C-alpha cells in the first residue's frame, strides 16, 4: 500500500465519521490555536514596545563625565575636563549619518502679535534636531530643524498646530515670517508644524493656552551671548535603523580616545535601549510560560486521538481481517492507522493555526479601539502591529504531526498484530 493510498483512505474514514473526526480534532485545534494566539500576542507586545520606544526617541546613548579613581582629594572637574559642544559636534561630523544631539536651552516667555493684534502666548527654546523625537513630538507639516540650520544659525522656527491656528486660522503658516516680542525681539521663518494633541484639546475647549516654539540651538546661544557650552553629561541619539550595540561602541570609542590623556576623568556611556532588552526578555519568558501551559491541552488532545483510534480499530476489525487475508502486510496495516492519526492531527493543527491567527488579529483590532478610547493622548505614539510568530507556526505543524505519530502508534500496532482469522470472526 502506497502512502497516497493511505492518505486517501484516511480522508474517506474522516468523511464517513465527520462529527467524530471533528470532536477528535477539537483538543488539537484548541491547543494549537491557544499556542499561536499566546505567542502572537507576546510577539506583538514585544514589537509594539520596541517600535514605541524607538518612536519616542529612546534610541539614545547618554555620556557622563566620571572620575577614574575617586578619592577625597580628587580635583573638581574644570571646563577643560567637561564635555563641550566642540566634542559633540566632532562626533556628528565623524558620523554624520548615525548621530544627532539632544540639547535644548530655554530662551524666554513672550507674546507674539498677529495681524489682528491678538496676543498669542508661547515660549521659545533652542533645540537640536534630536529634541523632537526624544520628546515624542511629530512633525505634521514642513520639516524639522537640521544640522545645517544649526551650523548657519538660521532664523527659522517650528511651531505647534495650536500656534498655527491662532496665528493663521485655516491657512498654512509654513514659510511665513513672524515677529517675536519679548526679551529678545527678532523675526523667524516658520519651517515646520508639530502635533500638540493635549494643548489642542484645551484650545478647542475655549481655554487660553500657551504652546512651545522651537528655534535652532545655536541661534538661541548666540542670542544669549553664549558660544561653547560645557557640561557633565550629554545625550546623543542614533538612527533607529542602526544596530544599538554598534552605535554605543562607536560613541564609547570616540570619547575614550578624547579622554585617554586625561589623568582624572573619563567618560561613562549608557544606552537607553539596554532597559528594553530586559523588557523583551521578560515578555518572551512570560509568553513562553503561557504557551507551555496552553500546550498541555495538546496532550489531552493526543489522548483523545489515541482513544478514538482504538475505537476505530475495534470497529474495523473485520476490515483488518479481510485486508490481511488478501495479503496486506503488518506494516501496511500499521502505516494505514498511523497515517490516519497524523491526518486527523495535522488537519486539526492547520485549523488551529488559522483560528489562532484570526484570534490574534481580532485581539489586536480590539486593542487599537480600546487604546484610542482610553488613552487617546498616547495612541499616536503606540503602534500596535500584530506580529504572528513564524517559528511558533512551524513548530505547531511539527507538533501536530508528531502528536499523530506518537498517539497513533499504539492503536496502529494493535491493529497490525491482529490475527486475520480472529479478526474475520469478530462481530
Residues 259 and 343 in one domain: no
Q: Report the C-alpha gap between 137 and 354 in whole angstroms.
A: 39
Split into its structural domains, the chain has a count of 2
pLDDT confidence bin for 279, thresholds 50/70/90: confident
Same domain, 82 and 105: yes
**Residue pLDDT, tens place only, 136-149:** 788 889 999 988 88
82 and 26 in a common domain: no
Query: Which of these three, 206, 239, 272, is where a domain ends?
Result: 272
Q: What is the 3-state secondary structure (H, E, C) of the chain?
A: CCHHHHHHHHHHHHHHCHHHHHHHHHHHHHHHHHHHHHHHHHHHHHHHHHHHHHHCCCCEEEEEEEECCCCCCCCCCCCCCCEEHHHHHHHHHHCCCCEEEECEEEEEEEEEECCCCCEEEEEEEEECCHHHHHCCCCEEEECCCCHHHHHCCCCEEEEEHHHHHHHHCCCCCCCCEEEEECCCCEEEEEEEEECCHHHHHHHHCCCCCCEEEEEEHHHHHHHCCCCCCEECEEEEEECCCCCHHHHHHHHHHHHHHHCCCCCCEEEEEEECCHHHHHHHHHHHHHHHHHHHHHHHHHHHHHHHHHHHHHHHHHHCHHHHHHHHHCCCCHHHHHHHHHHHHHHHHHHHHHHHHHHHHHHHHHHHHHHHHHHHHHCHHHHCCCCCCCCCCHHHHHHHHHHHHHHHHHHHHHHHHHHHCCCHHHHHHCC
Instruction: For the full predicted model, state whether its pTM sits above 0.75.
Output: no
Residues 207 and 84 in one domain: yes
Where is the domain boundary, 207, 239, 272?
A: 272
Domain boundary among 225, 251, 272: 272
Quick one: 194 and 168 in the same domain?
Answer: yes
Question: What end-to-end distance do the CA atoms of the chain give, in Å?
Answer: 26
Does 262 lie in the same domain as 404? no
| pLDDT given for residue 112 in this prediction | 65
CA 9 to chain centre: 46
In the prediction, which pLDDT does 191 show? 94
Q: Comparing C-alpha atoms, which of 334, 337, 314, 311 is closest to residue 404?
A: 337
Q: Judge if 216 and 75 occupy the same domain.
A: yes
Residues 401 and 342 grouped into a single domain? yes
Q: Could you tell me the CA-to-CA distances from 132 to 90, 107, 215, 381 in Å, in that order? A: 22, 17, 12, 13
Query: Does residue 264 sit in the same domain as residue 288?
Result: no
Q: How far apart are CA 407 and CA 396, in angstroms?
A: 16
Most confident of 71-80, 228-237, 385-394, 401-410: 71-80
Q: What is the pLDDT of residues 21-43, one digit of tens each?
A: 788 788 888 888 888 888 888 87
pLDDT tens string 88-124: 888 888 887 788 777 777 777 776 665 555 667 788 8
Q: Is there a single domain that holds both residue 225 and residue 196?
A: yes
Q: Both 90 and 226 in a single domain?
A: yes
Give the residue numbers spanning the domain of 307: 3-55+276-425
Overall average pLDDT of the 275-297 stretch: 74
Question: Do residue 88 and residue 30 come from a single domain?
Answer: no
Amino acid at each position: 500500500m502506497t502512502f497516497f493510498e493511505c492518505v486517501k483512505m484516511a480522508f474517506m474514514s474522516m468523511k464517513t465519521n465527520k462529527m467524530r473526526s471533528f470532536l477528535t480534532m477539537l483538543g488539537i485545534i484548541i491547543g494549537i490555536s491557544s499556542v499561536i494566539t499566546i505567542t502572537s500576542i507576546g510577539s506583538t507586545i514585544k514589537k509594539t514596545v520596541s517600535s514605541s520606544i524607538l518612536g519616542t526617541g529612546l534610541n539614545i546613548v547618554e555620556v557622563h563625565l566620571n572620575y577614574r579613581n575617586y578619592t577625597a582629594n580628587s580635583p573638581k572637574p574644570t571646563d577643560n575636563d567637561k564635555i563641550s559642544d566642540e566634542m559633540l559636534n566632532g562626533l556628528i561630523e565623524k558620523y554624520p549619518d548615525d548621530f544627532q544631539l539632544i540639547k535644548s536651552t530655554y530662551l524666554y516667555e513672550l507674546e507674539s502679535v498677529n495681524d489682528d493684534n491678538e496676543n498669542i502666548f508661547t515660549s521659545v527654546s533652542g533645540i537640536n534636531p534630536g529634541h523632537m523625537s526624544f520628546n515624542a513630538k511629530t512633525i505634521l507639516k514642513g520639516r524639522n530643524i537640521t544640522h545645517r540650520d544649526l551650523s548657519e544659525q538660521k532664523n527659522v522656527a517650528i511651531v505647534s498646530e495650536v500656534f498655527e491656528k491662532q496665528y493663521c486660522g485655516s491657512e498654512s503658516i509654513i514659510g511665513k515670517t513672524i515677529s517675536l516680542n519679548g526679551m529678545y525681539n527678532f523675526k523667524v521663518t516658520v519651517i515646520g508644524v508639530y502635533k500638540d494633541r493635549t494643548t489642542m484639546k484645551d484650545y478647542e475647549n475655549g481655554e487660553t493656552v500657551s504652546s512651545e516654539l522651537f528655534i535652532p540651538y545655536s541661534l538661541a546661544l548666540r542670542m544669549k551671548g553664549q558660544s561653547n557650552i560645557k557640561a557633565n553629561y550629554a545625550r546623543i541619539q542614533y538612527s533607529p535603523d542602526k544596530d544599538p550595540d554598534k552605535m554605543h561602541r562607536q560613541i564609547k570609542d570616540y570619547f575614550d580616545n578624547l579622554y585617554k590623556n586625561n589623568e582624572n576623568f573619563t567618560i561613562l556611556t549608557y544606552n537607553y535601549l539596554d532597559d528594553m532588552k530586559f523588557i523583551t526578555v521578560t515578555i518572551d519568558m512570560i509568553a513562553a510560560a503561557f504557551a507551555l501551559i496552553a500546550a498541555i491541552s495538546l496532550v489531552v488532545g493526543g489522548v483523545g486521538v489515541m482513544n478514538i483510534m482504538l475505537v476505530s480499530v475495534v470497529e474495523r476489525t473485520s476490515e483488518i481481517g479481510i485486508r490481511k487475508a488478501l495479503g496486506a502486510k503488518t506494516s501496511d496495516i500499521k502505516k494505514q492507522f498511523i497515517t490516519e492519526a497524523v491526518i486527523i492531527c495535522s488537519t486539526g493543527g492547520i485549523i488551529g493555526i488559522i483560528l489562532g491567527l484570526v484570534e490574534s488579529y481580532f485581539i489586536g483590532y480590539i486593542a487599537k479601539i480600546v487604546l484610542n478610547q482610553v488613552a487617546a493622548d498616547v495612541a499616536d505614539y503606540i503602534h500596535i502591529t500584530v506580529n504572528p510568530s513564524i517559528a511558533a507556526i512551524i513548530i505547531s505543524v511539527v507538533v501536530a504531526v508528531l502528536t499523530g505519530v506518537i498517539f497513533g502508534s499504539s492503536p496502529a500496532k494493535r491493529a497490525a498484530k491482529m490475527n486475520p482469522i480472529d479478526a474475520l470472526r469478530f462481530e
